[in-house]
Structure formats: C-alpha cells, structure tokens
Amino acid sequence: MTSSPSETEAAEVTEHPLQGFADAVAEAVEGTAEIHFDTVKVTVPADRWLDTHSVARDELDLVFFSWLSAIDWSNEVAAGDPLSDEVEERIELMTTVGDLTEGKRVTFSTTLDKASPSIPTLIGVYAGANWHEREAAEMFGIDFEGHPELVHLYLPNGFIGNPLRKSYPLLSREVKPWPGTVDVEAMPEKEEPSTENPEA
Amino acid sequence: MVIDQDAMRHLSEAQVSVELATEDMTLNIGPQHPSTHGVLRLVARVDGERAYDVKPVIGYMHRGYEKLSEVRTYPQITALINRIDWVSGYANEVPFIVAAEKLMELEVPQRAQYIRLILTEMARISSHLVFMASYPLELGAATPLFFALRERERVLDLLEGVTGGRFHPNFNRIGGVKPNAGAGPTTRKTPQDLPAGFLNDTRDAMDKVLEVCDEIEDLVAGNEIILARTKGIGILPPEVAAAYGVSGPNLRASGVAFDLRKVENYLPYEDFDFSVVTGENGDCWDRWWVRLEEIRESAKIIQQAIDGMPPSGTLQAKVPKIIKVPAGETYVRAENPKGEMGYYLVSDGGLGPYRLKIRSASFSNISILPWILEGILVPDIIAIMGSLDFVLGDVDR
C-alpha cells in the first residue's frame, strides 16, 4: 500500500480542506484515504490494524477513542432493504479516533473475512476499546484475539446469533408486520422537489 | 531468670503482625437502585470498606436501535433516537438529521438552524438541571432538587410549547424543523413559526435560570459535607479519559478544553460568544462545577441567539415528498449534554439507512467505571457514579 491512490483521487476531486490531513494520516499508517462528506476514512489491511492505531495515538496525537463498530456488507438481507448493487461479501470493521485540540478525527477501516472474522484487540492501545469490542463481538461475531473478557455485553448469556448481521432477521417484525402503510405498500415514485409543506 | 532476647523479639514481631482475617465479600448494587439512574448493575468485590474489580453489568435496557433503524425510513428514525438519552431527547435528533442532510447536500434555512440551536441548548440546560437536582440528593442533600427542577420545568414548558413534547420532541425534519405545534392546525399556505411570545418568554426564563444557578451555587458550594464528599474523590486524569473515550463535561472537568461546539459545524455556534469551561483536578467536585458553569454558558448562548434571530421565513429546505438519502457514508458528531453523540450513517440511496452506528456518550463515559472505582471506599461509589451523569438509555441504546 502506498499513498498513490489517494493522490490520484485528490486530483479528480476539487481540493477538500481536509485533504492534506487525510493524506498525512494515510502516509503515516500506510493506508488509503478517502473523504466522505467531511469524514476522513483511511482504509488499512487487517494485519496492520494494531500498528495503525499505535501510530495514530503516538505519532498523530489522535488520543481520543471515539468508537469501534462494524458493517456487514451482504447481498442477502433478512431485515431491511437489500443493497441496490452487488457488493463483495465482507465485514468492514471501523474505529473513529480524534485529537482533543483542533477537532481532527479519522475513521479507520479494515476488511475482515465474513466466515471467521478475527483481528487482534486494540485494548493495549486504547483501553476504551474493551466494551466496544465486546459489543462488536456479540453483534457481528467478530473474534478479537487477546481480549481478556470477550463475553456478552448487552445480550443475555446464552443468546444465540449475531443480531447486527444482515442475515439475522428482526424477529418482532417476522411475528407481526409493522402496521404503517410505508412498509407494506409500494411507495409511489415521485422525485421532483415539492414546495408544499412536507408534513401534509 | 534468663531472658532469651531472641525469643522475645520473635514474640513481639508475632504480636504486631497478627491481623484480623478479612474475607472478601461480593457486593451487588442495582439493577434497581436509585443511584444507578436507570437499570445499571454493579458487581464489586468488597474487602472491608474498599471495592475492587467492579464490573458494570449493562444491557437491561438494550432496545436494538441500530437494528431497528435498518427497517425504518429516515423520517421515522427521529422518533426512535429521541429515546436514547431521554433527559435531553431533543439533542439526540440533531446529529442524525445533520448527517442525513449532509448526504442529501441540503442547505438548511438559517432560522431553522437557530431554532435547533436554541432548543439544543435548552435540552442541555434541562439535562444539567436534572444533574444539579439528583447529584446532591445522592449525597444526602434534598433541597437543591426543588430549586433545579422548578427551573427545569420552566424550560421544558417552553420546549413543549414549540415542539409539542416535553421529553421526546421529534421536532427535526430533514431539511429543517417541524411546523410549530403551538400554532394550531397547520395549513399549507401560511408559514409556520415559533409560538407567539416565545422569544420573550425564553429570555425571561434564561434570566431565571441564571438566578437559580446562583441559588444552587450558594446552597451546594458552601456545604462542607458536599465538599468533603466530592473534593479529591474520583480523580480522572485526562489521558485516561481520552483513551476510554470519556467526553463532554466529564472530560472538560479533567482540564481538557475540548468542546465539539467549537470544532464541528453541525449548528452555527461560531456566531456566538461562549467559553469552554474546564476543571482543574478532574474530581467529582469539578464535574459538578463544570456542569453548573455550562448551564450559565448555555443561557448566554440562548440569549444571544434570540437577539440575533433571523427574520421569519421558511423553516424547511426543499425536499422531495418521499425522502431518499443518496448513497454515501458520513460520521456526524455533536456536543450533547452528556458528551460526544454521533451517528455513522451508511446509505444505499434507499428509504432507510443500510447501517446506522450510534455513538452515545454515556456508553463510553461509564466504561471508565472499572478503572475509576478500583480500590474506592464503598460510599464513594455513589458519589463517583453520580458525578459521571449518565443515563442508561444512552448506555444501552
């Protein structure tokens, strides 16, 4: 991984105020940077996950651990609307860390294998990752290697399944459909902007 | 008689080294306990008067909002996220709505933004006033509760007058705010706005809030028992707070001058003059004091916003009748009364999000409990927990 992909992207888009910062982070952690609507997202390979966060904390001064969570990119969904385009089946693991002076923040992202997602724990770098990893473990079935207490956080003991996986049905909805018309009837397609009161 | 000096010495050593054997006890606090602000359970190993290995047990109120929002449309989600931190329900809505507006690239009318800002600060005042009421109560002082809740009611009445709801306003719309609930039946032709007299009433209410801050300060800050229970208790160093993601007043009490209202642009805070209040020692007392000062700062922000209120006009950007958010992802965070509240919104261009990660402040704020309660006297557990000002709805989501 080099910083070249982010440089070619920067040439295509008009220079974003955060572009310099994004490139600096990408270079320091050897990842690729993108800017999504004022959110700097740096993608790194899974085997550099731990190093990335060490560098972020020690060299980039991103000392504040905001959150860790995941996205289940899935073509088959048991709850909610399916994706419009086919994607590569994967678990995307993300963290957001920031500084405590200028308000800079980075969202780090890495890709995990869906069948057996596994990655080293970040507790040694950010102690606050403990609960976030427990939550991600029970909700997505991710194994955080070296985590001292990877037991259920929210879910009761003995709960089977990983509720935030897209393959997990929303059971209350299975038993009783949502009564609103929005869900059970096809929505009329009307795209033009309306000047009328949207509440009406 | 010949005294064996060596034997005597051993004897005396044996005597001083004799200690009463203590047995560790497991102490369970909660989940139903007045000081746990909801349904938090703590399991502690107690050795004498000190607690070790404190384990918070959470999840009694987990409602699965992240999963639920995957099957809801964008306008429906504000009704859900009101209930995350119900003490400041209004403030929860704003970052989510701003995230959706960002993906839709909407320009929200200035007046709507000012209304959002005033209501957010009202939510902050009412949330902090609940803390001003409950925290001394947990330490054994009942009187401040009556002062704080009296003014909170005044603020909530104003909030209700605009939004129609005391705790769950559900007032934000993508692109603006809901037409005023206090103006009677809505008609399409007439522009809807704030209720008559709202701005003047709010100005008066803020004067009262500033007065009650002085009263509470007189009541609490001179009370020797409260000072003894809070000063130097539960010290949280800034680097530990940062690693655990502790944010908001709890972080500022540790001396970190960091306020998302100053660095993020989710609402037009740059138009106003206010200061970021910080503590010195990061103890329970500083956390109380920072919140008291933040009420004063919020009241000042609201008074400035009333003075600078843009003239009447539309409160809503033009949006399609059926709201679809274009594909994209973003993270928007806001300075909520409890700390950093953020939403990582992933849209696929549909009627609802593909994924909505909710970053709530209290979750990270109480993840510090095992660290901060290690080796603490049992009565101080209550003092420290109360000073962190969490709400279990905000922990469990």
Which position has the higher pLDDT, B291 or B192? B291
The reply to whether residue B355 touches residue A67, judged by beta carbons under 8 angstroms, is: no
The reply to whether residue B318 touches residue A83, judged by beta carbons under 8 angstroms, is: no
Q: What is the mean pLDDT of residues B127-131?
A: 92
- Asked whether residue A68 is domain-assigned, the answer is yes
Q: Supply the DSSP symbol for B316.
A: B
Mean pLDDT score of chain B: 85
Closest CB from B67, B173, B331 relative to A39 = B331
Q: What is the mean pLDDT of residues A137-155?
A: 90
Confidence of residue A196 (pLDDT cuts 50, 70, 90): low
- Asked whether residue B249 is domain-assigned, the answer is yes
| Integer CA distances (angstroms), B216 to A124, B65, B210, B223, B278, in order | 42, 37, 10, 11, 19
CA distance B391 to B373: 18
| Integer CA distances (angstroms), A96 to A125, A147, B304, in order | 13, 19, 33
Element (H, E) at B150: helix B143-163
Q: Supply the DSSP symbol for B351.
A: S
- Asked whether residue A116 is domain-assigned, the answer is yes
What is the count of structural domains for chain B?
Answer: 1
User: Does the beta carbon of A154 lie under 8 angstroms from any beta carbon of chain B?
Assistant: yes
Confidence of residue B396 (pLDDT cuts 50, 70, 90): confident
Non-local CB neighbours of A22 within 8 Å, separated by 6+ positions:
A6, A16, A33, A34, A35, A40, A42, A106
User: Domain span at residue B331?
Assistant: 67-396
- Asked whether residue B166 is domain-assigned, the answer is yes
The reply to whether residue A67 touches residue B240, judged by beta carbons under 8 angstroms, is: no
- Asked whether residue A27 is domain-assigned, the answer is no
User: Domain span at residue A110?
Assistant: 44-170
The reply to whether residue B245 touches residue A107, judged by beta carbons under 8 angstroms, is: no
In chain B, the percentage of residues whose pLDDT exceeds 70 is 90
User: What pLDDT shows up at residue B190?
Assistant: 47
Paired with B334 in beta bridges are B341
The reply to whether residue A198 touches residue B363, judged by beta carbons under 8 angstroms, is: no
φ and ψ of A186, to 5 deg: -65, 140
- Asked whether residue B196 is domain-assigned, the answer is yes
Confidence of residue A42 (pLDDT cuts 50, 70, 90): very high
Q: What is the mean pLDDT of residues A178-192?
A: 53
User: In chain B, whose CA is at the least distance from the CA of A66?
Assistant: B245
Mean pLDDT score of chain A: 81
Confidence of residue B188 (pLDDT cuts 50, 70, 90): very low
Q: Are B100 and B175 in contact (CB under 8 A)?
A: no
The reply to whether residue A128 touches residue B364, judged by beta carbons under 8 angstroms, is: yes
User: What pLDDT shows up at residue B61?
Assistant: 86
What's the CATH number where B278 sits?
1.10.645.10
The reply to whether residue B330 touches residue A67, judged by beta carbons under 8 angstroms, is: no
φ and ψ of B355, to 5 deg: -155, 135
Q: What is the mean pLDDT of residues B340-352?
A: 90
- Asked whether residue B385 is domain-assigned, the answer is yes
Element (H, E) at A8: helix A4-12
The reply to whether residue A103 touches residue B260, judged by beta carbons under 8 angstroms, is: yes
Residue B376 has pLDDT above 50, yes or no: yes
Closest CB from B260, B328, B351 relative to A81 = B351
Paired with B329 in beta bridges are B346
- Asked whether residue A70 is domain-assigned, the answer is yes
Pairing of strands B355-359, B376-377: unpaired
- Asked whether residue A101 is domain-assigned, the answer is yes
Contacts A100 to B, Cβ<8 Å: 238, 242, 251, 256, 258
Residue A110 has pLDDT above 70, yes or no: yes
φ and ψ of B37, to 5 deg: 55, 40
- Asked whether residue B344 is domain-assigned, the answer is yes
User: What pLDDT shows up at residue B6?
Assistant: 66
pTM (2 d.p.): 0.83
Non-local CB neighbours of B318 within 8 Å, separated by 6+ positions:
A193, A194, A195, B175
Q: What is the mean pLDDT of residues A130-158?
A: 90
Q: Is B310 helix (H, G, I), strand (E, B) or coil?
A: coil
Contacts B97 to A, Cβ<8 Å: none
Closest CB from A127, A192, A200 relative to B243 = A127
- Asked whether residue A188 is domain-assigned, the answer is no
Residue B18 has pLDDT above 80, yes or no: no
Pairing of strands B176-177, B328-336: unpaired
Q: Which tens digits make up the pLDDT trace of B251-275?
A: 999 999 999 998 988 999 988 999 9
> Six-digit token pair at A182?
């929005």
Q: Are A102 and A64 in contact (CB under 8 A)?
A: no
Helix axes B110-138, B143-163, angle to 10 degrees: 160
| Interface residue of B325, B348, B354 to substitute, partner A, most A CBs within 10 Å | B354
Residue B360 has pLDDT above 70, yes or no: yes
Q: What is the mean pLDDT of residues B335-350?
A: 91
- Asked whether residue B34 is domain-assigned, the answer is no
> Six-digit token pair at B15?
């005597």
CA distance B87 to B131: 10
Helix axes B198-221, B284-307, angle to 10 degrees: 160
- Asked whether residue A13 is domain-assigned, the answer is no
In chain B, the percentage of residues whose pLDDT exceeds 90 is 37
The reply to whether residue B319 touches residue A103, judged by beta carbons under 8 angstroms, is: no
User: Does the beta carbon of A156 lie under 8 angstroms from any beta carbon of chain B?
Assistant: yes
- Asked whether residue A56 is domain-assigned, the answer is yes
User: Does the beta carbon of B322 lie under 8 angstroms from any beta carbon of chain A?
Assistant: yes
Contacts A183 to B, Cβ<8 Å: 71
Number of residues in chain B: 397
| Integer CA distances (angstroms), B190 to A47, B107, B180, B195, in order | 60, 22, 11, 14
Closest CB from A131, A187, A189 relative to B367 = A131
The C-alpha of A15 sits at a distance from chain B's nearest C-alpha, in angstroms, of 18
φ and ψ of A40, to 5 deg: -80, 120
Q: Is B270 helix (H, G, I), strand (E, B) or coil?
A: helix
- Asked whether residue B313 is domain-assigned, the answer is yes
User: Does the beta carbon of B66 lie under 8 angstroms from any beta carbon of chain A?
Assistant: yes
The reply to whether residue B245 touches residue A66, judged by beta carbons under 8 angstroms, is: yes
Of A50-59, A80-89, B110-119, the least confident: A80-89
What's the CATH number where A117 sits?
3.30.460.80
The reply to whether residue B179 touches residue A105, judged by beta carbons under 8 angstroms, is: no
The C-alpha of B372 sits at a distance from chain A's nearest C-alpha, in angstroms, of 13
Residue A191 has pLDDT above 70, yes or no: no
Q: Please determine, for the modelled complex, whether the ipTM score is greater than 0.90.
A: no
Q: Looking at chain B from residue 127 to 146, which residues have their Cβ under 8 Å from any Cβ of chain A? A: none
User: What pLDDT shows up at residue A20?
Assistant: 85
Helix axes A4-12, A19-29, angle to 10 degrees: 170
What is the count of structural domains for chain A?
Answer: 1
Closest CA to B245 of A180, A3, A69, A185: A69
Residue A67 has pLDDT above 50, yes or no: yes
Closest CB from B178, B329, B357 relative to A67 = B357
Residue B295 has pLDDT above 60, yes or no: yes
